[in-house]
Structure 1
Amino acid sequence: MIEHYRNHFNSNFTSKKYDTLLENLTSGYPPISFRVAETPLFIPQDLKMQLIAAGEDIIRLIKQPDFKTITQKAIPPEWEVPNENDQPHFLTFDFGICKNEEGRLVPKLIEMQGFPSLYGFQSHLAEHYRKAYELDNLAQWSPYFNGLDKETYIQLLKKVIVGRHQPHEVALMDIDAPQQKTAIDFFITAGLLGIKILSLTDIFKEGTQLFYIENGEKIRLKRIYNRLIFDEVTSREDIFKLGFDPREQTDIEWITHPNWFYRISKYTMPFLKSEFVPQTRFLNEIKVIPDDLENYVLKPLFSFAGLGVVIDVSPDDIRQITDPEHWVLQRKVQYEPVVKALDGNVKAEIRLMYVWPDGEEPQLCINLARLSRGKMIGVRYNKDFDWVGGTVGLMET
Structure 2
Amino acid sequence: MIPAQRHKFNQQFTEEKYQNFIQKLENGYPEIPFRVAETPVFVPKELKEKLILAGEEIINLIKQPNFKALTQKSIPENWNVPNENEQPHFLTFDFGICKNATGALTPMLIEMQGFPSLYGFQNHLSKTYRDCYEINNSVNHFLNGFNEEKYIELFKEVIIGKHQPHEVALMDVDAPNQKTAIDFFVTQKMLGIKILALEDIKKVGKQLFYVEDGKQIQLKRIYNRLIFDEVANNTEVFKNSFDPREALDIEWVTHPNWFYRISKYTMPFLKSEFVPETRFLNEVETIPADLENYVLKPLFSFAGMGVIIDVTENDIKSIPDPKNWILQRKVTYEPAVQAPDGGVKAEIRMMYLWPDGGEPQLCINLARLSKGKMIGVRYNADFDWVGGTVGFMEE
Report the TM-score, using the length of structure 2 for normalisation: 0.99
SS in 1 for 2:326: strand
Separation of aligned partners in 2, 1:134 and 1:143: 14
Q: Hey, what does 2:259 align to over in structure 1?
A: 261
What does 1:254-333 align with in structure 2 at a 5 Å threshold? Answer: 254-333=252-331
Residue 352 of structure 1 aligns with an amino acid whose one-letter code is M
Separation of aligned partners in 1, 2:147 and 2:140: 8
> What does the per-residue CA deviation read over 1:114-153, in whole Å, with 9 as the maximum and x for residues that have no partner?
00000000000000000111112xx443211111111110
Separation of aligned partners in 2, 1:80 and 1:109: 27
Residue 129 of structure 1 aligns with an amino acid whose one-letter code is Y
Report the count of equivalent residues: 395
Q: Hey, what does 1:184 align to over in structure 2?
A: 182
Separation of aligned partners in 2, 1:195 and 1:71: 32
> What does the per-residue CA deviation read over 1:54-93, in whole Å, with 9 as the maximum and x for residues that have no partner?
0000000000000000100000111110000000000000
- Can you give the 5+ residue segments of structure 1 that lack an aligned partner in the other structure? none
SS in 2 for 1:103: coil
Aligned partner of 1:212 among 189, 210, 213: 210
> What does the per-residue CA deviation read over 1:144-183, in whole Å, with 9 as the maximum and x for residues that have no partner?
1111111110001001101110000000000100000000
Residue 185 of structure 1 aligns with an amino acid whose one-letter code is D
User: Identical aligned pairs, as a percentage?
Assistant: 70
Report runs of 4+ in structure 1 exceeding 2 Å deviation.
Answer: none
- Can you give the 5+ residue segments of structure 2 that lack an aligned partner in the other structure? none
Separation of aligned partners in 1, 2:323 and 2:161: 38
8 A contact 2:365–2:390 mirrored in 1: yes
Separation of aligned partners in 2, 1:80 and 1:21: 43
8 A contact 2:224–2:252 mirrored in 1: yes
Separation of aligned partners in 2, 1:395 and 1:145: 8
Q: Hey, what does 1:340 align to over in structure 2?
A: 338
Residue 52 of structure 1 aligns with an amino acid whose one-letter code is I
Residue 33 of structure 1 aligns with an amino acid whose one-letter code is P
8 A contact 2:48–2:394 mirrored in 1: no
Aligned partner of 1:149 among 125, 147, 150: 147
SS in 1 for 2:179: coil
Separation of aligned partners in 2, 1:290 and 1:141: 43
Separation of aligned partners in 2, 1:3 and 1:222: 49
Separation of aligned partners in 1, 2:79 and 2:20: 43
Separation of aligned partners in 2, 1:253 and 1:380: 35
SS in 2 for 1:377: coil
Q: RMSD of the alignment, in Å?
A: 0.7
Separation of aligned partners in 2, 1:26 and 1:133: 16
Deviation at 1:396, TM superposition (A): 3.4
Report the TM-score, using the length of structure 1 for normalisation: 0.99
Separation of aligned partners in 1, 2:350 and 2:340: 27
Deviation at 1:358, TM superposition (A): 1.1
**Is 2:373 aligned against 1:378?**
no
Separation of aligned partners in 1, 2:5 and 2:140: 14
Separation of aligned partners in 1, 2:372 and 2:199: 37
> What does the per-residue CA deviation read over 1:293-324, in whole Å, with 9 as the maximum and x for residues that have no partner?
00000000010100000000000110110000
